[in-house]
Structure 1
Amino acid sequence: MFTGIITDVGEVVAVRPRETGVSLDIATVYEPDGIALGASIACSGACLTVVDKGRTDGRNWFQVEASIETLDKTTLGAWTPGTRINLERALKIGDELGGHIVTGHVDGMAELIARENVADMAKLTFRVPRPLARFIAQKGSVTLDGTSLTVNDVDGDVFSVFLIPHTLTVTTWGTSAVGDRINLEVDMMARYVARLQEAG
């Protein structure tokens, strides 16, 4: 479980094909001694399991594996060495819940269709797959590339968010551009409310 509060921007340093997907080495500021094998780390919103870790040439890294399903349903299939990604360690009991409850299970990919820089902030507008649009609510929470954000406006399958200077600085959002594909996780409560309504 995560909160959508990014604690590092990592960099993909190696991608190795596997029969069932890929393995990825990701450089990070996280100390290897503090990462347990089998630990979960949200990588741009996708919860992945650490299978190896280490330090090479003074640079910390951890290794994860992604299945073919994950590559198809998220942006991971397009990651190459040099790709920068938002990272968050899994919650521990007693941690501050600064964003909202995030599972790390990506529901689909949104597309960044407009970016408007407003002073030192940015307004980003996204289009989401129509089946997921009903889960996006004005002033509700949404997770985009692992970042907990508040929805500003909604119009059908299009919605916008405002990013403050801090978020632009400590995440990958500072360099985002129109046309980018983004990992989207809808708010867990919205998903369950919709399911309860369907069940009558």
Structure 2
Amino acid sequence: MIFFRQACVTIMLLFLTTHCSAQQSIDYKVHANIIYRFTKYIEWPGNKRVGDFVIGIVGDSPLYEELSALIVGKTVGDQRIVIKKFAAGAAAYNCSILFISQEESRSLKRIALMTYDLPVLLVTEDNGLAKKGSCINFIVVDDRLKLEINKNNILSRNMNVASELLKLAIIITNDNVIANTQKP
């Protein structure tokens, strides 16, 4: 188990240190792989460990196709992983992970309020969103893909985050950056 976790951390570290360029389009295969890995490093409460494990996507994003291809035959524990699209104005978001595309980031505040007491990991991809309700935010720093994690947002949703994942991220509070600016 320890070797598996170390291998996953190494793989995530390789993805997170991949060079990005402002001129290049986002590699959603990398995003998909990292989001899938979140299932190993985030702990959901017991009532979320039954039925399908749903990863939702808000907005028209290539991530839907990449995740659908990646998760074929994969599970989270005994749960089958299902990828589902949601409208930004949906009445409910019945999922464990919800990715909000950059084009729909203006909906984050409303979605965060709608799901504030639910164990839904909100994942975004636009600057500053970890301070505005997101749990994990993809950003590019010095041409490298990085994660911002707002641990308080995760904990307030009755989920836990593994220290291995926190070590790879820039830790954000609702006030400021508090830790982990080390380079891998």
The TM-score bracket by the shorter chain reads under 0.3
Larger radius of gyration, structure 1 or 2? Answer: 1
TM-score, length-scaled by structure 2: 0.27
Higher helix fraction (1 or 2) = 2
Higher strand fraction (1 or 2) = 1
TM-score, length-scaled by structure 1: 0.25
Q: For CA contacts below 8 A with separation 6 or more, give which structure has more relative contact order.
A: 1
